[in-house]
Structure 1
Amino acid sequence: MQPRINIITLGTHDLAAAIHFYEDGLSFPRMSFEGDVAFFNLNGSCLAVYPWELLAKDATVAKEGTGFRGITLAHNVNSEAEVNVVLEQAKAAGANIVKPAQATDWGGFSGYFSDLDGHLWEVAFNPIFWPGPPDIGISN
């Protein structure tokens, strides 16, 4: 298997609201596609939003469940100031700020928001890992 993530699909309870949040609120470029799903270009991968119930059905799992889902999405930026800008943009689009931007114990600066369906996004300035992963001597 070649390691890669091509598409991250998030279940949503309101497809139209999710599309508005990501396309208009966060300015994610929406890809042309018809149907009960929307795709956004993430510069090398893709974010999809799909009705919660249909996604659960497709995966053959129960649609119910609350609390922490065991996953967060991360958006790395180029400065501490940009962390605050992105968090404010998300808040203006309807996101809930879960953790305000602050210095981290690993030497960076980050905060968290949750989207309209409760998916957690970390917005981080990571001077060690960004703009790309460090060379740790692993090759294919």
Structure 2
Amino acid sequence: MSIDRRISLVTLGVEDLVRSTAFYEKLGWQKSASSSETVTFIQLKGTVLGLFSRASLAEDARVPDTPKGFSGVTLAHNVSSERGVDAVYKFAISCGATEIKKPEKVFWGGYSGYFADPDGHLWEIAYNPFFPMDAEGHVALPD
């Protein structure tokens, strides 16, 4: 047996569901009708983003809800050019994201920057010349 290579859903634990939902809607992402008062679902290309109470998410996983800090996880949104990175980064900031690291050329040969959503979840906006993208905007790694 093996596990199929995909991530179906990424759930972010948030402090204020209404505030976080509003932030992602400002980015132009639409809340699904599958959402409820306690959880927001947003259909992405091939994946679903979930927003759920941080305390409830910790309880569901049976782990302690520790104080905020670097979680060791970042989310990435790849684009096809450096100009695209700058445009997406600037737009996210205008929607209420917090600037973490302005876009710049990076040691691995690409160009990226980081912002945080209202709950401090880190998003990298990146152009990676070594990660070709298909016609639908998905990263297409070589086999």
TM-score of the superposition, structure 1-length normalised?
0.91
Residues 84-104 of structure 1, C-alpha deviation per residue, up to 9 Å, x if partnerless?
111111111111110000001
User: Across the two proteins, how many residue pairs are aligned to each other?
Assistant: 135
The 1-side partners of 2:27 and 2:132 are apart by: 21
Identity of aligned residues (%): 41
The 1-side partners of 2:19 and 2:120 are apart by: 13
Does residue 10 of structure 1 match 2:12?
A: yes
Pairing partner for 2:61 from 28, 48, 59: 59
The 1-side partners of 2:12 and 2:102 are apart by: 23
Q: How far did 1:64 drift?
A: 2.2
4+ residue runs over 3 A deviation: none
The 2-side partners of 1:18 and 1:60 are apart by: 23
TM-score of the superposition, structure 2-length normalised?
0.89
Q: How far did 1:62 drift?
A: 1.2
8 Å CA contact 1:11–1:52 kept in 2: the answer is yes
Alignment of 1:1-140 (within 5 A): 1-23=3-25, 25-35=26-36, 36-131=38-133, 132-136=139-143
The 2-side partners of 1:127 and 1:133 are apart by: 12
The 2-side partners of 1:21 and 1:130 are apart by: 29
Q: How far did 1:130 drift?
A: 3.2
Which amino acid is 2:30 matched to? P
The 1-side partners of 2:78 and 2:119 are apart by: 21
The alignment's C-alpha RMSD in Å is: 1.1
Consecutive unaligned residues in structure 1, runs of 5 or more: none
Which amino acid is 2:31 matched to? R
Q: How far did 1:106 drift?
A: 1.4
Which amino acid is 1:135 matched to? P
Q: How far did 1:65 drift?
A: 2.2
Residues 44-69 of structure 1, C-alpha deviation per residue, up to 9 Å, x if partnerless?
01111001111111011111222210
Consecutive unaligned residues in structure 2, runs of 5 or more: 134-138
The 1-side partners of 2:96 and 2:41 are apart by: 20
The 1-side partners of 2:55 and 2:35 are apart by: 19
Which amino acid is 2:28 matched to? S
